[in-house]
């Protein structure tokens, strides 16, 4: 196993850091406070070829892999811009179209999305099913040779700035399938189509991306909207989950480093009891322990990305990376907060505001408990709990 970064990968990592430093964490926070999507920065990423990082060149992308997307996310987050939209759009939504769409579908959607002219979000969560996605009720009912989509999704990130959603629906209700993973179909749904309504969910998080409930009332869809095979969407969905987990780890490791860098600067300057507080082991060791956790999580994340790109099974490493990344990010921000004393809670020092985004990642997009169940049961062979 060798995942040493090559020159191009180092360049992408550097690009992410430079992009974030150029726009600045304050720009991102300003957008977060206003709940305004950072369109200008997003467009620059499109112009520089990064929204289509994982899309083949013939469809307007850069033809790169998961490792490069991970490095972009990690680099940006290292410098204080954890761009959640990179997970749901270019990675979870565009990659399944590139991997499972027909040539017509790829031509229709990918080049415009790579240019930043249209955006995609990913919609699976339903209020009643929650973590148990098998029980989703949104149904695309076959009607002549088309489908009528009805139901609702919630917590959908970026639905206000997106033109399309990849909607995970059932074409056979869960009560009528032999295997519980049968009967899922992925659709590309035009969010401006007749029968689609978006309503904001009032999420209390300082990030620019906002969440929406989406309601579908007999939305007319055809086979041209189906990604992959009707009824076989679960496998495609499964393909999208490892990348999601890897990118969450990248985001958390980056924000962990960003917070720790600030803490080191502060603890080296701030003097109480006549010496810099960083010389007290009670301040230094929590920072050093958090740094160690962040770097270990980052290694696991790179291993997962590498395995994914090699076409090797990546579930074990991706789940471990997501768990380790979220926990390390939380530990790092918490240690940085403590080192800053009261100043950690001020807007000027900007530490406390980092906590919600890393803490979110213990709960979403998949909660810590489900990750640990996967590791306990699928990796270690313990008996299934649910």
Ligand X SMILES: Cc1cc2nc3c(=O)[nH]c(=O)nc-3n(C[C@H](O)[C@H](O)[C@H](O)COP(=O)(O)OP(=O)(O)OC[C@H]3O[C@@H](n4cnc5c(N)ncnc54)[C@H](O)[C@@H]3O)c2cc1C
Residue 125: closest CA among 95, 151, 87: 151
The site for ligand X (CB under 6 A) is made up of 88, 121-125, 130-131, 155-157, 203, 205, 211, 360, 363-367, 369-370, 373, 386
Shortest gap between Cβ of 43 and ligand X (angstroms)?
21
Q: How far is the CB of 373 from ligand X (least distance, A)?
A: 6
Q: DSSP label at 377? A: I
Question: How far apart are CB 229 and ligand X at their closest, in Å?
Answer: 21
In this complex, which beta carbon is closest to ligand X, that of residue 192 or of residue 202? 202
Alpha-carbon separation of residue 302 from 4, 17, 50, 287 (angstroms): 9, 17, 19, 23
SS3 143: strand
Helix (H) / strand (E) containing 69: helix 66-78
Rounded CA separation 159/177 (Å)? 30
CB of 156 to ligand X, least distance (A): 5
Give me the least distance between CB of 50 and ligand X, in Å please.
20
* Between 43 and 154, CB nearer to ligand X: 154
Q: In the bound complex, which residue of the shown chain has the CB atom lying closest to ligand X?
A: 130
What is the closest distance, in whole angstroms, from the C-beta atom of residue 165 to ligand X in the complex?
A: 9
Q: Are 64 and 55 in contact (CB under 8 A)?
A: no
What is the C-alpha separation between 177 and 132, in angstroms, rounded?
A: 16
Kindly state the smallest distance separating residue 204's Cβ from ligand X, in Å.
10
Looking at the Cβ atoms of 210 and 303, the one nearer to ligand X is 210
Distance between CA atoms of 359 and 356, rounded to whole angstroms? Answer: 5
Q: Which is nearer to ligand X, 211 or 225 (CB)?
A: 211
Cβ atoms within 10 Å of 294's Cβ, excluding its own:
25
Q: Quick one: 209 or 309, whose CB is closer to ligand X?
A: 209
**H helix or E strand, kind and range, residue 306:** helix 281-309
Beta bridge partners of 289: none
Q: Kindly list the distances between the CA atom of residue 239 and the CA atoms of 233, 236, 315, in Å, as whole numbers in the listed order.
A: 10, 5, 10
By beta-carbon proximity to ligand X, the closer residue of 71 and 241 is: 241
Element (H, E) at 240: helix 233-269
Nearer to ligand X, 166 or 301 (CB): 166
């Amino acid at each position: 196993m060798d995942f040493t970064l090559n020159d191009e990968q180092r360049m992408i990592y550097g690009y992410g850091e430079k992009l974030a430093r150029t726009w600045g964490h304050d720009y991102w926070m300003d957008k977060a406070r206003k709940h305004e999507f950072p369109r200008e920065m997003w467009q620059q990423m499109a112009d520089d070829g990064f929204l289509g990082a994982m899309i083949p060149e013939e469809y307007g992308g850069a033809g790169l892999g998961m490792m490069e997307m991970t490095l972009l996310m990690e680099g940006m987050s290292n410098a204080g811009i954890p761009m959640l939209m990179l997970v749901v759009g270019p990675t979870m939504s565009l990659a399944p179209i590139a991997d499972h769409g027909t040539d017509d579908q790829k031509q229709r959607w990918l080049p415009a999305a790579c240019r930043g002219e249209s955006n995609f979000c990913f919609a699976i969560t339903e209020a009643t099913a929650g973590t148990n996605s098998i029980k989703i009720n949104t149904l695309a009912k076959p009607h002549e040779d088309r489908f009528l989509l009805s139901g609702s999704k919630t917590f959908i990130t970026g639905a206000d700035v997106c033109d399309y959603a990849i909607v995970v629906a059932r074409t056979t209700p869960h009560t009528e399938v032999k295997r519980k993973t049968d009967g899922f179909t992925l659709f590309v749904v035009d969010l401006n189509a007749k029968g689609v309504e978006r309503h904001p969910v009032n999420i209390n998080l300082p990030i620019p991306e906002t969440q929406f409930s989406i309601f579908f009332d007999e939305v007319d869809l055809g086979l041209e909207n189906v990604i992959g095979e009707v009824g076989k969407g679960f496998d495609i969905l499964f393909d999208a989950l490892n990348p999601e987990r890897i990118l969450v780890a990248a985001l958390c490791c980056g924000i962990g480093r960003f917070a720790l860098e600030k803490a080191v600067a502060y603890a080296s300057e701030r003097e109480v009891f006549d010496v810099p507080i960083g010389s007290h082991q009670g301040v230094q060791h929590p920072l050093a322990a958090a740094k160690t956790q962040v770097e270990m999580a980052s290694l696991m994340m790179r291993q997962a990305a590498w395995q994914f790109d090699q076409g090797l099974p990546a579930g074990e490493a991706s789940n471990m990376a997501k768990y380790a990344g979220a926990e390390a990010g939380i530990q790092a921000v918490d240690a940085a907060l403590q080192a800053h004393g009261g100043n950690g809670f001020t807007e000027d020092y900007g530490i406390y505001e980092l906590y919600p985004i890393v803490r979110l990642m213990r709960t979403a997009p998949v909660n810590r408990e489900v990750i640990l169940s996967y590791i306990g049961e699928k990796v270690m062979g313990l008996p299934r709990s649910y």
